[in-house]
Amino acid sequence: MELNVHALTPRFAAEVTGVDVAQAGGNLAAALKQAWLDAGGLLVVRDQDIASDKHVAFSHRFGPLFGAPGEDPLQETVSIYIHPDHPEIYRVSNQVDSQGKPKGRKGAGTYWHSDVSFRERPAGASILSAKQLPDVGGDTIFCDQTSAYAALSEAMKTLLAPLHAVHDFAQAARTQYASAVVVDDDMAGANKALHPVVRRHAETGAKSLFVNPGFTSHIEGFHEGESAALLGFLYAHCTRPEFLYRHRWSPRDLIIWDNRATMHYAVMDYGDDQPRYLERTTVIGERPVA
């Protein structure tokens, strides 16, 4: 099936126009998945006015979903952010309802991270649908961990090859949420895992860096200062402008990103007087391997 695809960066981001994901049968879903893999990890699908149930149905074509009946929940404790009628949908919002209940997670992802990397099986694809956007602001920045890895010296690649890092949800609360919204209960549960620092993509075979400031607490086997210095170098390296794509959301954008090969950062530069609401499904990926 022919898709209308335009690159947004030379390396890892592309956009598709002229499709209706809500109607996606097997052929269209397979073509979109291939375009997403070919793009290098990030595909913006324009103009998708998609109902939540259709969003879930489409997402299932990318693999099992966190929160689906019989699957792991996203986190045991974030149920207030889950869509009441669709346990597969995580809601991002800066608004509260008339009873003061949040309409979604405020300040979600306002630090560099790869979704759910603190699980044994972290996220593969995340699929985020924009329902309500500020007039200006609220962009999301993505980083290409495959190109960042490829640009390292052979000496650094050799150093990283055998290493593993601990990913721990508590890390985000300790550091990244310092000035944002912290919910104590988020720290409960089995939200800790050990993963290779460099992972090989299960579908493309490409190697990517797999550490992120949000959830990676340390590299195993190093002294604390050594781990912090090495991670600090890697974070500065992979967030260089040539590895980034900054998405300015348009109404009805649907973005599919690959948490195995990218990180992202939500820019919270808008006020609560500017409602922002998005719905996300999250595919349960495979266990990362070097």
Closest approach, Cβ 75 to ligand OGA, in A, equals: 12
Report if residue 126 touches ligand OGA, rule: CB under 6 A: yes
Whether the CA torsion 151, 142, 58, 282 is positive or negative: it is positive
Residues 105, 113, 195, 218: which is the catalytic one? Answer: 113
The answer to whether residue 113 is catalytic is yes
Which CB sits closer to ligand OGA, 152 or 172?
A: 172
Q: Pick one of 9, 114, 140, 217: the residue that binds ligand OGA (CB under 6 A).
A: 140
Give me the 91-110 binding string for Mn ion, x by CB under 5 A, dash otherwise. ------------------x-
Residue 189, Cβ density class (10 Å: 0-12 exposed, 13-18 middle, ≥19 buried): middle
Residue type at 34?
A: Q
Which CB sits closer to ligand OGA, 140 or 176?
A: 140
Residue 90 vs residues 103, 227, 278, 280: alpha-carbon distances, Å = 10, 32, 9, 5
Which CB sits closer to ligand OGA, 65 or 92?
A: 92
Q: Which stretch binds ligand OGA (CB under 6 A): 17-25, 59-67, 108-116, 149-157?
A: 108-116
The answer to whether residue 55 is catalytic is no
Instruction: Round to whole Å and give the CA distance between 155 and 14.
Output: 32
Instruction: Round to whole Å and give the CA distance between 169 and 122.
Output: 12
159: Cα separation from own chain's centroid: 27
Residue 288 forms beta bridges with which residues? none
The answer to whether residue 115 is catalytic is yes
Residue 221, Cβ density class (10 Å: 0-12 exposed, 13-18 middle, ≥19 buried): exposed
Closest approach, Cβ 66 to Mn ion, in A, equals: 12
Which CB sits closer to ligand OGA, 64 or 137?
A: 137
Q: Pick one of 67, 87, 109, 122: the residue that binds ligand OGA (CB under 6 A).
A: 109
Instruction: Round to whole Å and give the CA distance between 83 and 52.
Output: 9
Q: Pick one of 15, 88, 115, 253: the residue that binds ligand OGA (CB under 6 A).
A: 115
Residues 105, 115, 168, 199: which is the catalytic one? Answer: 115
Judged by CB under 5 A, the chain residues 110 through 129 that form the site for Mn ion are 115
For every residue of 138-191, DSSP letters joined together read: --EEEEEHHHHHHTS-HHHHHHHTT-EEEEEHHHIIIIITTTS---GGGG-SS-
Q: What residues make contact with Mn ion under the rule CB under 5 A?
A: 109, 115
Q: What residues make contact with ligand OGA under the rule CB under 6 A?
A: 92, 108-109, 115, 126, 128, 140, 264, 266, 278, 280
Catalytically active residues are: 113, 115, 264, 280
